[in-house]
Structure 1
Amino acid sequence: MLSNLQPQAPDKILMLIEEFKADTRQGKIDLGVGVYKDPEGVTPVMRAVKAAEQRIWETQTTKAYTGLAGEPEYRSAMAKMVLAEVPADRLASVATVGGTGAIRQALELARMAHPGLTVHVSDPTWPNHLSIMKFMGLPYVEYRYFDVATRGVDFEAMKQDIARAKKGDIVLLHGCCHNPTGANLTLDQWREVIDILQTTGAVPLIDLAYQGFGDGLDADAEATRLVAQSLPEVLIAASCSKNFGIYRERTGILIALAETTQARDLAQGAMAYLNRQNYSFPPDHGARIVQTILTDDALRADWAAELEEVRNTMLGLRDQLAAELRQLSGSDRFDFIAHHRGMFSRLGATPEQVQQLKSEAAIYMVGDSRLNIAGLNQHTVPVLARAIIDAGI
């Protein structure tokens, strides 16, 4: 049986990681893998996470299963963090295996509710979005999003494309810190997107993987909150990997907002059923950490303060890189880097130029020229800037 399996295409980012590890050159720079790194190149465990784990270790008396939907206190705390005002009569939720699991469960739920749907997804988007949909056999179409010339959002083209979505279709949107481009919609543009969704009857699925990494915890959720307040049905997939730094704990949540209490109850039952089919009970340790932090004033304050340090570090690196490139190029054509938000920016380089950066300067980034800003520090920024200019980008 197993000999009948077909070889699977390797993940390009994972291949890049292995290639970077095998490179023996001194001073090599990894801008590919999507994790936050401090100036020493370490992905740290946050202070509040350490404190929460200590408290859990001291007080936890059992490792018995939690509920199919996850711990209610965790789901409540996460819904409040994402939405601020929680519409209890409309809201269903389940703990998931990371943000990726939340995306998968959201698409499964949408297909159960409307088997003939099409998913509308930005061009470009996080590659795993497309991989999951292809594996599920879900039909999807890409809507124009990134303007290669300006490295900003091609909003007029985006509006034209998402207006083609039909009632019951899914429009997949990045809540903040767009991956892989770093280019975000303004709040006024979000309002126009909402108008289009109200007209078409399509349902937004918001991927909120980087809340707190862009303009701040509340600012990064502002668009998602506006969508939730404006539309009858909304799906939100949120991740704790980045903002709590618990990547390996695989902690996420799927939130569904329904139009009626009856529809909310149906959604809650279907989501718990999907958890049961896919992994039975969701993992609890990471969720317990998040719950402990969000429900304790002192821990939450310390976590929020450290998250601000992380965010401001990335903003500082963006400003430094844009300034270095402005000086070296004698132009403002790289100022978009300072305007982008989150971990990533897309340079707009060709695959050949990306290869040149790797072969000549030992600088690794994804082939579409997505670079992880958090992979830099103040000493490597000038090295990258010079290499970008030398590669003719």
Structure 2
Amino acid sequence: MLGNLKSQPADKILALMTKFKEDPRIQKVDLGVGVYKNAEGVTPVMRAVKAAERRLVEEQTSKSYVGLPGDPAFADAMIDLVLGDSVQRDRIAAIATPGGTGAVRQAFELVKMANPDARVFVSNPTWPNHVSILKFLGIPTIEYRYFDTESRAVDFEGMLEDLADAKAGDVVLLHGCCHNPTGANLNITQWQSVIDLINEKGLIAMVDIAYQGFGNGLDEDAEATRLVASSVKEVLIAASCSKNFGVYRERTGLLMAISDDAELTPIVQQNLNYLNRQNYSFPPDHGARVVTMILTDPELRADWAAELEEIRLGMLELRQQLADELQKLSGSDRFGFIAEHRGMFSQIGTTPDKVEQLRADNGIYMVGDSRMNIAGLNKDTVPLLAKAIVDAGI
């Protein structure tokens, strides 16, 4: 049986990580892996997380299983963080998941159970694992135009034209904020137009929100997701705690399913619980418990929000520094989009050959589609990257 297995393509980002580690050059820059790093190149444990974990060690009396959907207090805390009071709580079913990836996977599984004929429309480009999971599950996937490689902004007209081909019951996958991999985001007026189209055609909205707090602020980054949740009859939301709480390895996420009628919530919850049981039974709890403690303790929450704001502002400073350095070296404003993008990523819009040239000549590692992790920079490496970009003729 095992002899029938075929080799699987290597994950491009993981392969890039391996190449970076093996590169003997001292002056090398990792802009590939999607993990926040501080100026010292370290992914820190946030202050509030450490404090909550210390308290958890002292207070926790059992490591027994939680329920199939996870701790209800975690769901309540995350729903409040993401949705605020935009949706009645009795319309929302939710399950804890192993990270945002687990939430995305369970959402796609739910789509397949509820409507085997549904197609999922995804932005071009999108986070590669979206497409990979959909392909593995056998769910038809349709790309819609999103990123204009000339302007490095959203191709909004193309997006609406492509979404107009969706049929009732199809799913539109949207990035709640800080689009991965491009960093280019819809403005609130454009979000409303997308919502109008979704409602007009009877589509299902799915929002992947993995970077809340990394763009314009906690509430500002949730604005679009809240607008979708309050305006569309049926919405799926996959939320991740990996980035904004820095609990990557704890695999902490939540899937929310919003029904048009609160009477449907119990059966939706039963199906979400069933999916958890089939995949991993009980979800991990340590990260969820830590996040819950932070969000429900005023002192911890204030410290967490303050540190998250420091991280956000630090990335904005790096964006502006890079845009300014590129303007100075190139004599052109064509890189001004870097300062306008939000989140950890920007896609600079060049060819895989140019990306490989940056790696070979300068030890600068980014994904082949030219996605770069802004958080992989510091004030000393920004000039190196800018010079390399200009020298490569990008």
TM-score of the superposition, structure 1-length normalised? 0.99
The match for 1:248 is: 249
Give the drift of 1:349.
1.2
Please name the residue that 2:354 is paired with: 353
Q: Structure 1, residues 172-213: CA drift from partner, whole Å, max 9, x if none?
A: 000000000000000000000000001011101100000000
Secondary structure at the aligned position of 2:89 is classed as coil
Q: State the alpha-carbon separation in 2 of the partners of residues 358 and 158 from structure 1.
A: 32
Give the Cα–Cα distance (whole angstroms) in 1 for the partners of residues 120 and 231 of structure 2: 21
**Alignment partners' CA distance in 1, 2:248 and 2:89:** 29
**Aligned-partner Cα distance in 1 for 2:127–2:375:** 17
1:172-211 to 2 correspondences below 5 Å: 172-211=173-212
Counterpart CA distance in 2 for 1:3 and 1:89 is 50
More deviation, 160-169/355-364: 160-169
Aligned to 2:282: 281
Amino acid across the alignment from 1:196: L
Determine the structure 2 residue equivalent to 1:383. 384
1:106 to 2:107 alignment? yes
Which residue does 1:23 correspond to in 2? 23
Rounded to whole Å, the distance in 2 between the matches of 1:305 and 1:192 is: 33
Q: Which amino acid aligns with 1:350?
A: T
Could you tell me how far apart the structure 2 residues matched to 1:101 and 1:89 are?
23
Distance 1:326 1:162 in 2: 36
How many angstroms does 1:262 deviate by?
2.2
2:83 alignment counterpart: 83
Alignment match, 1:330: 331
2:114, 2:352 → 1: CA distance? 40
Q: Tell me how large the CA RMSD over aligned residues is.
A: 0.6
Q: Which residue of 2 aligns with 1:215?
A: 216
Find the aligned partners of 2:126 and 2:160 in 1 and give their Cα distance.
16
Q: Report the residue type matching 1:67 in the other structure.
A: G
Once residues 218 and 125 of structure 1 are traced to their aligned partners in structure 2, the CA distance between those partners, rounded to angstroms, is 23
1:23-42 to 2 correspondences below 5 Å? 23-42=23-42
Amino acid at match of 1:354: V
Q: Take 1:184 and 1:14, find their aligned partners in 2: how far apart are those partners? A: 26
Q: Which residue does 2:8 correspond to in 1?
A: 8
Equivalence for 2:138: 137
Q: Say yes or no: does 1:263 pair with 2:229.
A: no
Q: Which whole-Å deviations, capped at 9, do the CAs of 1:113-156 have from their partners, x for residues lacking one?
A: 11100000000000000100111111010000000110000000
SS of 2:207's equivalent? strand
Secondary structure of 1:37 counterpart: coil
Instruction: Map 1:39-118 to 2 at 5 A.
Output: 39-85=39-85, 86-118=87-119
Query: In the alignment, residue 305 of structure 2 is paired with which amino acid?
Result: A
Instruction: Quote the offset at 1:164 in angstroms.
Output: 1.4
Q: CA deviation at 1:266?
A: 1.4
Q: 1:36 offset after TM fit, Å? A: 0.3
Runs of 4+ aligned structure 1 residues displaced above 6 Å come to: none
| Distance across 2 between alignment mates of 1:254 and 1:18 | 32
Deviation at 1:279, TM superposition (A): 0.2
Structure 1 residue 92, shift from structure 2 partner: 0.6
Give distance in 2, aligned partners of 1:58 and 1:8: 44
Give, in whole Å, the separation in 1 of the partners of 2:44 and 2:168.
Answer: 44
Unaligned runs of 5+ in 1: none
The separation in 2 between residues aligned to 1:51 and 1:169, in whole angstroms, is 44
Matched residues in 2 for 1:250 and 1:89: separation? Answer: 26
Aligned partner of 1:289: which letter?
V
Counterparts of 2:140 and 2:350 in 1: how far apart (Å)?
A: 30
CA distance in 2, matches of 1:275, 1:186: 35
Deviation at 1:167, TM superposition (A): 1.1
Moved more, 372-381 or 84-93: 84-93
Q: 3-state SS of the aligned residue for 1:89? A: helix
Q: Which runs of 5+ in 2 are unaligned?
A: none
Q: Percent identity?
A: 65
Q: Distance in 1 between matches of 2:264 and 2:392?
A: 55
- 1:263 positional shift: 1.6
